[in-house]
Chain A
Amino acid sequence: MSSNADDFKGYDGAALECLKKFKVRVWADAEFGTTRGAFRGIVLPRSETADNDHIVLKLVTGYNVGISVDTIETVKEVGYRKANYKIPEKAFPVSPGKPDVILFGTGGTIASRLDYRTGAVIPAFSPGELYGSVPELADICNLETEKLYGVFSENMGPEQYIGLAHAIGKAIKDGKKGVVIGHGTDTMHHTAAVISFMVQNSPIPIVLVGSQRSSDRPSSDAALNLISATKVAAESDIAEVSVVMFGPTSDDYGLIHRGTRVRKMHSSYRSTFRTIGDIPLGMVDPQDIFTFRDDYNKRRDDREVTIDAVYDDRVTILYYYPAMRPDILDALVDLGYKGIVIAGTGLGHVNKPLYPAIKRAVEKGVHIYMTVQTLWGYVQMYVYDTGRDIMELGVIPCANMLPEVAYMKLCWALGHSHDQEEVKKIMLTPVNGEITDREPFDGYLIYQGGIPEVQEFISKIHR
């Protein structure tokens, strides 16, 4: 048996020694004699994060079990069956009448399969695979895919943002009618915000999409999200950066959220993305797109776009808490941070002991912006003395910009200039709805369960 690294995939320590000792490979069909009796099955790769004391077998029934190395007395390889986990690839059909859409892959669970290294899921896609698993896409557009990155969304960073912005610019120049970006959901709203700033005046829709349940599950939201997002990219006239994800937890419709006003609001719900402090742009189901408003940038026929992909990552968010000590702010300044977005309490407040540290930071040229940790509502620092004092120290209120959006915008602004006035002008001039003049009466609807009329609503409408 010639040995290669994959023969013992994921195994280490005692388990690896055991496999080597008995000359058994991963994917071998083997009989194990143990102190707890005989077990037969196919040796599976082991997750690297699991312990080194067990060998995983797939029994003939399809179940997996772990055998403790301590109990193994004999092993005999009787066969070999390597898994070929491959979504059936079918050539994506091209229809002359359908719009050309490009799908950029950055990672995440929108299209994924099992990863034996971690035992979790990893991204996998090509037009053929996507067509194999979501054939409905061919009814909407001619799809091209390009894998830009393969990272979980928490590992997205400046390099990826800038690369993505340029890739979008190129797609527009190439005459694509829509862009879809497959993205992990955790930081999808960060990317949506920064791309809103880096890619301006787009003639076509730029839609971020992901899934909360990976596509290797029968009940995954991936297929409907992908269908919805592709439909918005191909057919809608919303030439903006948006996030399209499940509206309710039911398999029903998606919501179209403006890229600068959207936030992930639940760690695991399908309907996790919500527009904050405003209403969404619209909704989409496999049949139709409905818009709720008209104040969005309309699709154009030209190929003009402004790509402004700059970024300075010496920025942080300071999430204020009671009795915060000023030394943390001093430390940030001393470490060389150039921008600080404070998520303040209430209308935008921090405690008095922080004042000297703020004063010192501003004097050292650090740009400090105030947002609210309540997420909904405006920073209104003139209401209380505290607010006025803090403004006096040089902290600039960000109106109703979401903290994460303010963070991304400050990174982008500092990529342009470090001049206080210049940065302030960039920050406070809305690019695309990150600051709005008005908060509509129905921009803050968090229904509370238990209230009779809410109970009546959810008993009638699939949420």
Chain B
Amino acid sequence: MTPQDYKALGFKCGLEIHQQLETKQKLFCRCPATHYSPRFDAEILRHMRPTLSELGVYDPTALMEFKTKKEIIYRIERDTVCTYEMDDTPPFMINDQALDIALEIAMLLKLKLVSELHIARKQYLDGSIPTGFQRTTIVGVEGSIPFLGRTLGITQLGLEEDSCREVSDVGHTRVYMTDRLSIPLIETVTEATLFTPAEAAEAAQVLRWLVRSTGKVRTGAGAARQDVNVSITGGTRVEIKGVPRIPSIPALTHYEAMRQKALLGIRSGLTRKGMQPDRFEANYKDVTALVKRSHYRPMRTAIDNGNRVYAIHLPGFAGVLNTEIGPGVPFAREFEGRIKVVACITDLPNMAWSDAPEPTLAGRLWDRLKRESSASNDDIVVLVWGPEVDAITAAKEVAIRAREAFEGIPSETRKALRDGTTYFERVLPGPDRMYPDTDLPPLAITPKRLQQIEAGLKPRPWEMQDRYVARGCKINLAHLMVMDPRREVFEEVIEKEITDPCTAARVLGQTVRYYRRANVGIDKVSDKSLVRLFELFSEGRFTREGFSAILWEMAMTPESTPDVVVERVYPPAPEFDSWESQVREWLDEVDWIRGNPQTEFNLTMGIAMDKLRGRVPGKEVARVVRGIIEEGREG
């Protein structure tokens, strides 16, 4: 699809980017904000009940979650969790380090900063936070970044605590790990002015680049997660939650737009038939006795386990549940999701319908069920099964979702799946889930604090990149250097013109980065030592090929100065001072291959570089070796 096609569709997308901050401690307690661990020492159990918002209203998500009646188990490990995360101790004052980082990023996003922080409780009744709410606060509102030749509005930046990691969700039991809980997180919300799936991914990249350029955010799996809001003309906002990788954004947003288009199609199909939502009635009843002899395995197993089967009569819905709303995804999946999430019937399949293309119950039985419900040919019957209470919830939920087909697109949050499609997660929450946190007083953000942060503020990444490029650095290397943890070394090296920017960028962005990832202790080497190393390089003490061996040695012996390490790795070797004269000797060693100049060259280079690597540039050696071989051929 072209941008024009998305425009015709009215595609609009906004991002909420969650990024963990690199702090020593968690946001509201003194637990270390460090590692995740699958092991745990204890479990506690909690239930969640909906409560009123500050303006005296119940949030729809809260009521939906309450219908689900989940037992929530939290796994707790001694090293990562204290009584705060368990909600058995009130919060401590907000982590200053985290607040300063959030303010710094808010400044980079040119947001209007608030003068006084008010901690709010954002209700999450799914249990992902043991309190039942996330402590969150707004740091700034209404900023912008330059984007694709225009500006992208930033709605707000919030500072909040991270939630638990879900372990499992089966039936009425949901299990969470608490290690990630309460790690400081910023949420950057963009305006919904991204008009193609590609733009959405690009904006996520730019924002990631910006936060990483501070060097104060966490990286690695799960450290940044995107929520993506998508809508099309005639529809409503749908939020795709927890997209872990930016490259999956285009497919997810595209399929979501297509899903919404299909749902609008279903709506117009129903209205065309003259059906009206206020006159739509979907009745349900227990039909266990009627279907108990069916051979349809999933349902039969459920009945054998003492579960009940309910039939819901959906008038006018013939063919509708089979309508494709995604690649290979029928409309029925929307119902399946509701049954799974709201009624906690997690074993799939959890429903069957009378005109499904796949074989389920015998045709005769469907006919009987339709007769019992007085269903016409234009109607269908849906079956759900589960423990009595859940089956009734499921039947009601099917009726609710069917009625929502008349609205078109229900406001939902949806879970991102690997194949680019999404799955119902919950009803979209609104502002009514916000409540002031009565445990913490408001905190004034003093002008002095802002001045201090402003004084240390780095240019924005695209400004930095322009500067590096102006100094002669290639743009792709400059892009990486902006968010490199050794950026300060790079800046000093190019500022003092110690060496050319591309060499410095390659050494820092490749060799140093590689050693850092391999965890060989390169982080113990100081910035000062690295700068000195570049000086030694520019003095001609070693060649570019030498960086790898020297940096390895520096990582192994961080207490040694670069001068000492270079001396150790490449001791002065007078015998190589006139290395050109030795090339003929090396050539003699490969005498046996004479006649094949390319192999001869390769083998000689091998011998030569073993001795000369790091001392003489490979290019230079190659020139001399090739010269002598050619000389010999001529002679």
8 Å CB interface, B8-57 against A = 40-56
- Are the CB atoms of A54 and B112 closer together than 8 Å? no
A66-B116 Cα distance, complex, nearest whole Å: 4
Which 5 residue pairs are nearest across A and B when measured between Cβ atoms? A66-B116, A218-B132, A62-B431, A62-B434, A37-B112
A215 near B118 with CB under 8 A, answer no
Give the CA-CA distance A179 to B112 in the complex, in Å: 55
Q: Are A114 and B44 in contact (CB under 8 A)?
A: no
Contact B138 A219 (CB under 8 A): no
Tell whether B326 is near chain A: CB-to-CB under 8 Å. no
| Residues 127-155 of B contacting A (Cβ, < 8 Å) | 130-133, 136-138, 141-142, 155
Chain A positions within 8 Å of B113 at CB level: 36
Q: Is the CB of A56 within 8 A of B442?
A: yes
| Complex CA–CA separation, A455 to B42 (angstroms) | 8
Say which residue of A34, A64, A87, A269 sits within 8 Å of B118 (CB atoms). A64
Evaluate contact between A67 and B114: CB separation under 8 angstroms: yes
User: With a CB–CB cut-off of 8 A, which chain A residues contact B123?
Assistant: 218
Sort chain B's interface into a size bin: 35 or more
A64 touching B120 in the complex, CB below 8 Å, given contacts A85-B54, A219-B130: yes
Contact call B41/A458, Cβ cutoff below 8 A: yes
Decide if the interface of chain A is mainly helix, strand, loop or mixed. loop
Question: Which segment of A191-199, A248-256, A324-332, A416-424 sits at the interface?
Answer: A248-256
- Contact residue among A113, A216, A250 (Cβ-Cβ distance under 8 Å from B46): A250
5 residue pairs A–B, Cβ–Cβ below 8 Å: A39-B112, A62-B432, A66-B114, A251-B47, A455-B41
Give Cα A455 to B320, complex, Å.
55
Contact A62 B444 (CB under 8 A): no
The verdict on A306 contacting chain B, using a C-beta distance below 8 Å, is no
A-side interface residues toward B, CB under 8 Å?
34, 36-39, 47, 49-51, 53-54, 56, 58-68, 71, 81, 83-87, 113-114, 119-121, 133, 212-220, 223-224, 248-252, 266, 268-270, 449, 455, 458-459, 462-463
The verdict on B597 contacting chain A, using a C-beta distance below 8 Å, is: no
Question: By the criterion CB–CB under 8 Å, are B436 and A64 in contact?
Answer: yes
State whether A219 and B112 are in contact (beta carbons under 8 Å apart), knowing that A61-B431, A120-B438, A455-B41 are contacts in the complex: no
Q: Which residues of B contact A34 (CB under 8 A)?
A: 112
A68: chain B residues within 8 A (beta carbon): 115-116, 444
| Cβ of B313 under 8 Å from chain A | no
Residue contact B112 to A114, C-beta cutoff 8 Å: no
Q: Are A218 and B50 in contact (CB under 8 A)?
A: yes
Residues of chain A contacted by B122 (CB below 8 angstroms) = 62
* The stretch of B85-93, B236-244, B462-470 that contacts the partner chain: B85-93
Smallest beta-carbon distance B99→chain A, Å: 14
Q: How far is the CA of A336 from the CA of B431 in the complex (A)?
A: 58
Most buried by A among B46, B117, B125: B46
Q: Give A38 to B111 CA distance when docked, in angstroms.
A: 11
Selected from A63, A66, A212, A213, the residue in CB contact (under 8 A) with B442 is: A66
- A223 near B49 (CB under 8 angstroms)? yes
Provide the bound-state CA to CA distance between A249 and B118, in Å. Answer: 28
Contacts of B114 in A (CB 8 A): 36, 39, 65-67
Chain A residue at minimum C-beta to C-beta distance from B114: A65
The smallest C-beta distance from B496 to any residue of chain A, in angstroms, reads 38
Inter-chain CA distance A268–B86, complex, in Å, is 11
What is the bound-complex CA distance between A66 and B442, given in angstroms? Answer: 8
Interface residues of B in 431-450 (CB under 8 A from A): 431-436, 438, 441-442, 444
Q: How far is the CA of A185 from the CA of B528 in the complex (A)?
A: 58
- Collect the chain B residues with CB atoms within 8 Å of residue A119's CB: 436, 438, 441
B188 contacts the other chain (CB 8 A): no
Question: What are the residues of chain A within 8 A of B115 when measuring CB–CB?
Answer: 36, 54, 65-68, 71
